[in-house]
Structure 1
Amino acid sequence: MNSKRFSLLVAAVFAGGVLTGLVVPRLVASWGDGPGELVIVSGVEDGEGGARQALIDLWNETHPERRARIHLIAGSADVQHDAMVRFAKGEEEVEADILNLDVTAVAEFAEFGYIAGWPSQQVPGQLLNTLLEKPRESCYHDGRLWALPFNTDAGVLFAHRDGLGQPIAHTWEQIAARGENLPDPSGNPVAAYAGQLDDYEGLTVNALEALWAVETEKTGSVADTPLGVSADPAIWSEAVARLYGRNGPGRVVDPASTTYQENETTAAFLEKRIVFMRNWPVAYRTLVETTDQQATVTASRIGMTPLPGPAVLGGQNLAVVAGSAHQDDARELIEFLASEPSQRLLMQVGGFAAATSATYDRTEIKATHPYAATVRAAVESSRQRLPTPYYPRFSEEVRALVAEIRADGKVPPDLEKRLQDAAEGRLSPR
């Protein structure tokens, strides 16, 4: 979104009372470097329009004595995680007060003393009651509150409406059937579907969603297990075959998706190389902003539906660095950013999925986000990745198992033990 269009949109948001409940005298463009500055370490914003920075500007205008700024770190989710650990340990030049953590990192950072939880007498009960259940649960570890959501997320299925009829198909059988009836392979689309299969956290997410979908189809539900995922070899075999399009004729999965992260999948969808795309809801804003200028693709021809099975809960949670000298101020800033008015701006301007329930009922949100109900349903039916302090090790093992099954066509007999060892931070012999 260009700067002029963003400024007009923010002005319209404020004029329309979208931020009711916040004092909004004006936006400011920068921040100072005073001794009381609060530093939020965050990955590069994946929404549109600088919505997060707009909220920081609002905070600075109304709290000039406790100004804040965002210190951005680039890279994949895995790269950002490693950087967050260094900031938490005080190993970077910048002294951080708040970390914008992936939801999977809360247990790890709490367990190892990197972040400070809310004292029992300061827990914001009223604010917690406004949050959707799944995002709220992701903020706890061992029964204690450690963070609050900056935004939530859950995977959804995008589709080009052309030739799909109504309602848009969203079971795996329907996706696969589309792949079996594609036109000349020399043209577009080249495949029915693509997700994120590059070797990073996105592959873990896609694998878990495939495992949960297959289990749901076979048993009617996803069992609550200590590992958060089935260890049934038949389910793993089918899920891996599905990930790579090896369970049927035709061109079901784009072979190039083994190199795709979120941006590459979005590009393939925009170029009509695929009919269906697994991605996060924030991609809709990117599609709308881009397709407004493309005659071959229009926003009205893009559909969004649930995934074939439960989606992975995504999003980022804000937590106070244990070594921060400004912990009370940091908690107040976090509560400001997690509040319903702030969540409205993040969704309205940035396209982020809001963590607050009431946001989805707002008239202005429904008007600008025709799939708000789909996003909310995806979040409400989502599942958390295993909340273990050793999640990075667990995620790495999931990807290793997927790679082995893909290469050998066989499920390792020690699959469950390897997952259990990883969940507890141990290396398994291979």
Structure 2
Amino acid sequence: MRPLAPLLLAALLLAGCVGGGEREEGRAGNADGTGPITFATGRDTTAYLRPLIAEWNRRRPKEPVTLLELPEAADEQRAQMVANLQAKSDRYDVLGLDVVWTAEFADAGWIVPLDSGMFSLDRFLRPVVDTAVYNDKLYAVPYTSNAGLLYYRKDILDREHLKPPKTWAELRDQAMRLGKKYRLDGYAGQFLPYEGLTVNFAEAVQSAGGEILSRDGAKVTLDLGTAKTGLDFLVGGLREGWIPQEALTYKEEESRLAFQEGRLLFARNWPHAYGPATRSAIGGKFGVTRLPGLDGPGVGSLGGLNLAISAYSRHQKSALDFIQYFTGLTNERSVLTEGSFPPVWSELYDDPALIKRYPYLPVLKDSIMSARPRPATSDYDQVSLAISSAVSDALDFRKPSDETVAALKQELGEIIRTP
């Protein structure tokens, strides 16, 4: 049984109790309804959301927003949301969705389509907007973007007269040699079997020149050769020791802490780790660059958060107004300056004052624009579970890489059945 099965079972049981007496089941939503709303999203590790919500509540005292923080891990967030929506509960109004959930939630009828003319989407990063569209309809509004970055100890590389690695071979060489010399672990990403591992594997496959599914998510396009090459990059790092065994327990926060506490030479993480690192013991000693790949810069996975409205919300008009407010240019600037998350407004990446304050913005924009979105399939959760489970077996040396990718391709074919 996969490791997440108990979690999903618990989430289904939660459907009978979430929201307590406040929840009303089986009621249709109200597109014109106004009143108090609940914003359900992942745990706020930056504490910048509450001031923005407080400002809304000051302006709209009859439509106050309550922040409901779900677990940190994306899998657990989705499980709680799905349990709530399957129960047709009106407990959640605005949903903070991982960009990859748009298709699933729209296909299930859990979120409502939105009028694209109500938002300045033409001023957003184009790849980010695409993550909010399903079957040519806008079902969510981009709030933050994301793309994997390579964090590195600039002070050490400068001391050794080295540039940050652009290829896996360069990363391996520097991680092994300098890790030993400076008594640091070489490299880590997010290797616990959950969505983070799926993303790390997808980036490895993409950076080897392959892909897992077609862009529309309708066909398995996993090439066994490139998939094995990508997986061998990770397995080889663990076998040779430049990826520490402890990394098999890492999610985003664990890998962030390992790097900013000075225990890692290189780390793959999302941009939100940049701000805390500047305020840590390695502040001023690190840099960021694009992920390395097989023969040159790699291809990251496009991440981020989209805001959607529950189909069962009784106050959908207030929810829509809140999303307009929350994704406006002023608040998007705060997304970057206070939350260290990548904003979705393109012009913020070209602002000279912001670039001076955040020198990594050009690299970040380049990483986002070159990143590959995860497939827009309503079966994505099953796909992610299959990938993370299979890859975890390989990283634990329970199954060789070639057998792993062959079995994974077969399992994905059973999930994604072409009509």
Residue 195 of structure 1 aligns with an amino acid whose one-letter code is G
Distance 1:242 1:51, change over 3 A: same
Q: Does the CA contact (< 8 Å) of 1:175 and 1:252 recur in 2?
A: no
**Matching residue of 2:38:** 39
Q: Which amino acid aligns with 1:154?
A: A
Structure-2 residue corresponding to 1:237: 228
1:6-405 matches, within 5 Å, as 36-46=35-45, 48=46, 50-90=47-87, 95-118=91-114, 122-124=115-117, 127-164=120-157, 165=161, 167-182=163-178, 184=180, 188-190=183-185, 192-215=186-209, 226=217, 230-246=221-237, 250-291=240-281, 297=282, 299-308=283-292, 309-405=298-394
Match of 2:8 in 1: none
Deviations 1:80-112 (A, max 9, x none): 1101112323466x7211111111111111111
Aligned residues: 373
> Structure 2 length normalisation: TM-score?
0.82
Scaled by the length of structure 1, what TM-score is found?
A: 0.80
Q: Distance in 1 between matches of 2:189 and 2:219?
A: 21
Q: Tell me which of 408, 411, 418 is aligned to 2:403.
A: 411
Give the Cα separation in 1 of the matches to 2:175 and 2:77: 35
The DSSP-based 3-state class of the residue aligned with 1:109 is helix
Q: Is the 8 A contact 2:39 2:66 kept in 1?
A: yes
Checking the alignment, whether the CA contact within 8 Å between 1:393 and 1:425 is kept in structure 2 is: no
Q: CA RMSD in A?
A: 2.6
* Residue 423 in structure 1 maps to residue 416 in structure 2: yes
Amino acid at match of 1:100: G
Distance in 2 between the 1:319 and 1:378 partners?
25
Give the CA deviation at 1:321: 0.4
Assess if the C-alpha contact under 8 Å between 1:41 and 1:96 holds in 2.
Answer: yes
Deviates further, 222-231 or 350-359? 222-231
Change (3 A) 1:82 1:371: same
Unaligned segments of structure 2, at least 5 residues? 1-33, 293-297
- 1:195 and 1:279 in contact (8 A); partners too: yes
Contiguous gaps of at least 5 residues in structure 1 = 1-34, 292-296
Residue type at the aligned position of 2:77: Q
Spell out structure 1 runs of 4+ moving beyond 6 A. Answer: none
What amino acid is aligned across from residue 192 of structure 2 in structure 1?
Answer: D
Contact 1:282–1:353 (CA under 8 A) maintained in structure 2: yes
Q: 1:161 deviation in Å?
A: 1.1
Letter in 2 for 1:51: Y
Instruction: Assess if the C-alpha contact under 8 Å between 1:227 and 1:419 holds in 2.
Output: no
Match of 1:24 in 2: none
**In structure 2, what is the Cα distance between the partners aligned to 1:288 and 1:268?**
14
% identity of equivalent residues = 27
SS in structure 1 of the partner of residue 177 of structure 2: coil
Confirm or deny: 8 A CA contact 2:387 2:408 kept in the other structure.
no
1:226 deviates by 4.7
CA deviations 1:119-150 (Å, max 9, x no partner) are xxx32365111110111000011111000022
Aligned residues of 1:208 and 1:229 also touching (Cα < 8 A) = no
CA contact (8 A) 2:116 2:138 kept: yes
How far apart are the structure 1 equivalents of 2:86 and 2:331?
Answer: 29
Distance in structure 2 (CA, Å) of the matches to 1:112 and 1:246: 40
Equivalent pair of 2:261/2:280 in contact (CA under 8 Å): no
Whichever residue aligns with residue 198 of structure 2, its letter is T
1:4-61, Cα deviation, whole Å (9 max, x unpaired): xxxxxxxxxxxxxxxxxxxxxxxxxxxxxxx811111111113x2x222222122222
Q: In the alignment, is the contact (CA less than 8 A) between 2:218 and 2:418 conserved in 1?
A: no
